[in-house]
Amino acid sequence: MQAEDAGRISPSAMLEVRDLRVHFQTDDGLVKSVDGVSFTLDRGRTLGIVGESGSGKSVTSLGIMGLNTGKNVYISGEIWLDGEELVSAPPTRVRELRGRKMAMIFQDPLSSLHPYYTVGNQIIEAYRLHNDVSKQVARKHAIDLLGRVGIPQPSVRIDDYPHQFSGGMRQRAMIAMSLSCDPELLIADEPTTALDVTVQAQILDLISDLQEEFGSAVIIITHDLGVVAELSDDILVMYAGRVAEYGAAEDIFGDPGHPYTWGLLGSMPRMDRERTERLIPIPGTPPSLIRVPPGCPFHPRCAYTGLTGGRCDTEVPLLREVVNFGHHAACHLTDDDRTRLWAELSAGVVPAEAEIPAEAKFEPGTGVQESPPDYEKGSPVGGAGETVSPSGADS
């Protein structure tokens, strides 16, 4: 069902983001943190947003929550939450929806726990703000939540202040606070990075439980493709504030359409190797969002620019459907080239057409020409293809 909202057609999905742009004016120039991001998320579904540091993942989620505020921020596009457009909505309305309909688990737990109030009081107040219940009922609910996120002796620790909690416990307490109102949309920004593996698994289970229980829509933001592989129905790969690739998780892992995604998949740790080992490193670093490279923003780091007749560094690639319905990638490669290259990479061989990317030729500060050892053409690259199973494990 679609409804009219001020003359615009509102979508039926729980969340639809259309051409979102979030730019910050700074002394150094305009930072285009999010530059034309669109996606849809239905109830009961999970979207994984992945990308390297600085690609605009957090700014996108803060934008949805209405938390990119200040005089230096320019926001455009549309954010539809359950049929209501939020970019043009009054801030009071967005504040009302925050906590009641949508909640966020923040990347930095300290930023959302107040040092002067006990952990319990903060969860109780967050719950009572949107639920007409007594303090006792809210306290019981808070103890239950703290127990569910793995805080030991929750009925005692509920009266601790944030500084009495370890970093991991603060993260868990904040997750409890975010879940306290059973949000219909939950955004979890790197929810597990500060936690040990066992607690990570508990937290991810908890998010899945919530989703099953309440049919919530969930966005999980992470660097770790392994985390989103486990949980996501769809994946959005961000690069330099834009969407590089977007589609169903099985398509992104099974038949990725963008060289950046190939790099991320190649970097994914495998169960039989050291967790930190990067199998095929993506050379160089993400660009400054003040000076985004012209054409395809990934071109200084891409090995396949030679295949597109010079378009990569002059023409911005549009996000277009590749492989199958609903699977989009922003890349100039032809379907034939893309299919052939991925077939070779997934067989563990560096394609003959791969060239050393501009950023890999020069090691900053040394003046030394660098040829990454993995770029010997036609050679095996440590099993790139074996890294693509969604679980990250070899089959």
Ligand X SMILES: Nc1ncnc2c1ncn2[C@@H]1O[C@H](COP(=O)(O)OP(=O)(O)OP(=O)(O)O)[C@@H](O)[C@H]1O
Binding residues vs ligand SF4 (CB under 6 A): 258-259, 296, 298-299, 302, 304-305, 308, 312, 317, 331-333
- Tell me the residue length of the chain: 395
Q: How far is the CB of 62 from Mg ion (least distance, A)?
A: 9
Alpha carbon of 225 to those of 92, 239, 261, 305, 391: distances in Å? 36, 14, 10, 25, 9
Taking the least distance from each CB to ligand SF4, the nearer of 319 and 388 is 319
Beta bridge partners of 381: none
Pair type for strands 8-10 and 3-5: antiparallel
Start-to-end CA span in the chain (Å):
42
Contacted entry of Mg ion, ligand SF4, ligand X, none for residue 122, CB cut-off 5 to 8 Å set by kind: none
Alpha carbon of 55 to those of 58, 223, 244: distances in Å? 8, 10, 11
Q: Mention every residue, 6+ apart, whose C-beta is less than 8 A from residue 274.
A: none
Taking the least distance from each CB to Mg ion, the nearer of 51 and 99 is 51
Q: How far is the CB of 34 from Mg ion (least distance, A)?
A: 12
Enumerate binding residues for ligand X (CB under 6 A).
Answer: 24, 26, 31, 33, 51, 53-59, 107, 223, 289
Residue with tokens 């603060």: 170
Contacted entry of Mg ion, ligand X, ligand SF4, none for residue 53, CB cut-off 5 to 8 Å set by kind: ligand X
Provide the b/e sequence for 31-51 (b: ≥16 CB within 10 Å).
Answer: bbbbbbbbbbbbbebbbbbbb
Contacted entry of ligand SF4, ligand X, Mg ion, none for residue 210, CB cut-off 5 to 8 Å set by kind: none
Q: How far is the CB of 308 from ligand SF4 (least distance, A)?
A: 5
Q: How far apart are CA 136 and CA 299, in angstroms?
A: 58
Taking the least distance from each CB to ligand X, the nearer of 50 and 145 is 50
Contacted entry of ligand X, ligand SF4, Mg ion, none for residue 56, CB cut-off 5 to 8 Å set by kind: ligand X
Taking the least distance from each CB to ligand SF4, the nearer of 177 and 302 is 302
By the 8 A CB rule, do 267 and 280 touch?
A: yes
Q: How far is the CB of 31 from ligand SF4 (least distance, A)?
A: 22
Nearest Cα to Cα of residue 38 among 238, 185, 258: 238
Taking the least distance from each CB to Mg ion, the nearer of 99 and 191 is 191
Q: How far apart are CA 24 and CA 382, in angstroms?
A: 41
Q: How far is the CB of 207 from ligand X (least distance, A)?
A: 19
DSSP 8-class letter at 244 = E
Taking the least distance from each CB to ligand SF4, the nearer of 160 and 353 is 353
Contacted entry of ligand X, ligand SF4, Mg ion, none for residue 262, CB cut-off 5 to 8 Å set by kind: none
Taking the least distance from each CB to ligand SF4, the nearer of 139 and 258 is 258
Q: How far apart are CA 329 and CA 218, in angstroms?
A: 22
Contacted entry of Mg ion, ligand X, ligand SF4, none for residue 296, CB cut-off 5 to 8 Å set by kind: ligand SF4
Taking the least distance from each CB to ligand X, the nearer of 63 and 257 is 63
Q: How far is the CB of 349 from ligand SF4 (least distance, A)?
A: 18
Q: How far apart are CA 218 and CA 175, in angstroms?
A: 13
Taking the least distance from each CB to ligand X, the nearer of 57 and 98 is 57
Alpha carbon of 275 to those of 109, 189, 271, 359, 393: distances in Å? 25, 21, 7, 25, 12
Contacted entry of Mg ion, ligand SF4, ligand X, none for residue 304, CB cut-off 5 to 8 Å set by kind: ligand SF4
Q: How far is the CB of 164 from ligand X (least distance, A)?
A: 27
Contacted entry of ligand X, ligand SF4, Mg ion, none for residue 298, CB cut-off 5 to 8 Å set by kind: ligand SF4
Q: How far is the CB of 385 from ligand SF4 (least distance, A)?
A: 19
Question: Edge-to-edge strands of the sheet including 234-239?
Answer: 102-105, 185-189, 217-222, 46-50, 234-239, 242-248, 328-330, 319-321
Q: How far is the CB of 368 from ligand X (least distance, A)?
A: 28
Contacted entry of Mg ion, ligand X, ligand SF4, none for residue 317, CB cut-off 5 to 8 Å set by kind: ligand SF4
